Amino acid sequence: MLRSTPDPDLLPCSLPARKNHDKLCNNFGLQLLSLCKENNPCIVNGRLENGQFTYHSVHGNKHVASTVDYVICNTDNYESVENLCVCDISEFSDNCCIVFSLNVNNSCLSSNDRFVQDTIIWDNLHHKDVFQENLCSKADEFNFLNDKLLSGNININECMDGLSSLMHDISFETFAKTVSNKPDKSKRLNPSWFNNECKLAKNVFYNAKRLFNRVSTNENKLLFLNARNHFCYVKRRAKRLFFSKKKILD
């Protein structure tokens, strides 16, 4: 939870002032603010949207909300973040999803398009000997990394980065293949443990959700949150009972 009013002397003049519905700030929020002030990151929440809460739950049959999820970037890259919004509360979590886009060139796939990519596919049966030969051919580079580490010219992290890059290059040279994939359009089915009680709780939840979306009152929000919590509880119980029974039968 972070303050809604940052120190204006610490912000680049090009950044808009930050809004926040959450007016409280705990120790974690203070630490995050201190990190931003000292290292120049920028909290995007409240600048590209109106500072909505990102956490909703029920405590003592009362609705509680706070801001605990953030999009943070370097101030130099702030202009690259666009269309940030906090999604509506859902059945999946007390925390709301944050959606945003980056102003980069995007290529969109239609449902019938395929995309092509290079990937490493391990093949011990046909390429094991070739892989060993390629490893041996890079012995000088492995020894070079080892000597630099022992002499203190690089630290262990730099050595591991170099080793990882070297292993990736050798693996890619040996096992790389170009694959073509088509987006999966198959319909998602409910899992085996999703019983009739889950279906009933799901219907109650979605009815409460539709009501809240139509009439966003505090009463309807509380109804929605309680229905969501009950739906999650029913799913957890059904899943636990299903796998306990399956374990006994096995």
> What integer pLDDT is reported at residue 200 of this predicted model?
93
- The model's confidence at residue 183, banded by pLDDT at 50, 70 and 90, is low
Is it the case that residue 188 has pLDDT exceeding 70?
no
Residue 81 contacts by C-beta under 8 Å, 6 or more apart in sequence? 44, 48, 71, 73, 100, 101, 102, 103
Which residue, among 126, 123, 116, has the nearest Cα to 171 in the 3D structure?
123
> Which pair of structure tokens corresponds to residue 241?
């009972």
Among residues 176, 218, 177, 175, which one has the least CA distance to residue 64?
218
Task: Give me the residue label for tokens 């909300």.
Answer: 65
Do 49 and 98 meet the contact criterion of CB atoms below 8 Å apart? no
| Mean pLDDT, residues 92-101 | 87
Give the model's pLDDT for residue 199: 92
Cα 49 to chain centroid distance, Å, stands at 19
Instruction: Please report, rounded to a whole number, the percentage of residues in the chain having pLDDT higher than 70.
Output: 85
* Predicted TM-score of the model (pTM): 0.46
pLDDT of residue 132: 87
pLDDT tens digits for 60-74? 888 889 988 899 988
Other beta carbons within 10 angstroms of residue 192's beta carbon come to 10
Residue 10's pLDDT band (cuts 50, 70, 90): very low
Q: Is the distance from CB of 166 to CB of 138 less than 8 angstroms?
A: yes
Question: DSSP secondary structure string, 194-243?
Answer: --HHHHHHHHHHHHHHHHHHHS--HHHHHHHHHHHHHHHHHHHHHHHHHH
Tens digit of each residue's pLDDT (9 = 90 or more) over 77-86:
888 888 888 8
Query: Which residue in 61, 52, 156 sits closest to 99, CA to CA?
Result: 52
Q: Of 99, 87, 93, which is closest to residue 53 (Cα–Cα)?
A: 87
Is the pLDDT assigned to residue 176 strictly greater than 60?
Answer: yes
Helix, strand, or coil here: 244? helix
Rama region for 227: left / alpha / beta (φ>0; ψ in -120 to 50; rest): alpha
pLDDT at 179: 73
Distance CA 240, CA 61 (A): 26
pLDDT score of 154 more than 60: yes
